[in-house]
Amino acid sequence: MVNENDKGVNKFRTWIIKKRQENDWSQRELARRSGLSTSHIALFESGRGSASVKFCEGIAKAFGEDVIDIMRLAGLIGYL
């Protein structure tokens, strides 16, 4: 059984991969732009890593997105 949080994480993972590919960035390039490690990006994209606040902040920075929107997409915060 998949819970709602897992669905949110999978949606976030898919979004990151799609955005990275649209920008023609490697995982290394996303890591450089986000301030995160390449291994953290790789682990997350493969389904073996988790999204923390710090991870969301880095992803928001790399893609020029609002960190609150990224945290919502990751399932870390809800909508009011």
pLDDT at 62: 98
Closest CA to 76 of 63, 61, 57, 62: 57
Q: What six digits make up the tokens of 30?
A: 């996303």
Q: Is residue 80 part of a domain?
A: no
Q: Is residue 35 part of a domain?
A: yes
Q: Is residue 11 part of a domain?
A: yes
Could you give the number of structural domains in the chain?
1
Kindly report the CA angle at 79 between 67 and 49, in degrees rounded to 5? 50
pLDDT at 78: 79
Q: Is residue 8 part of a domain?
A: yes
- pLDDT tens-digit series, residues 44-62: 999 998 899 999 999 999 9
| Residues in Cβ contact with 71 at an 8 Å cutoff, skipping those fewer than 6 apart | 53, 56, 77
Q: Is the pLDDT of residue 79 over 80?
A: no
Q: Is residue 79 part of a domain?
A: no
- pLDDT tens-digit series, residues 2-44: 344 456 678 999 999 999 999 999 999 999 999 999 999 999 9
Domain that holds residue 9: 4-74
Q: Is residue 62 part of a domain?
A: yes
CATH code where residue 45 lies: 1.10.260.40
